[in-house]
Amino acid sequence: MQDEIETEEIIKDIFQQGKTCFIPRYQFQSNHMDMVKLASPEEIFSLPKTSWNIHQPGEDEVREEALSTEPGSGSLWGETTAPFPEGRGRGPSS
């Protein structure tokens, strides 16, 4: 969609600053969402796509989760990251 925010450069900048990046992974037919660690900015494009055409790790793939990361580790994460649509995800109001 043309009105979506392109966040690829934001992800690249996160890694260039030496920070840790977490991306959303939702469970199919559920309101549950985890924020899971992304290994590199290039990795996002190798992840499988959901039915909404969103790249995310598979549900059965084990990844570090943001809530299990040590506080103060310099991690930076948000609700959406490239190429995820801004404001159209499965947030709390879904």
As for how many domains the chain has, the answer is 1
Q: Is residue 49 in some structural domain? A: yes
**Run of H or E including 13:** helix 8-16
Q: Is residue 23 in some structural domain? A: yes
Domain that holds residue 73: 8-77
Over its length of 94 residues, how does the chain's per-residue pLDDT go in tens digits?
567 777 788 889 999 999 999 988 888 788 888 899 999 999 988 999 888 788 889 888 888 888 775 655 544 444 444 454 555 555 444 3
Q: Is residue 88 in some structural domain? A: no
Structure tokens at 55: 């790249």
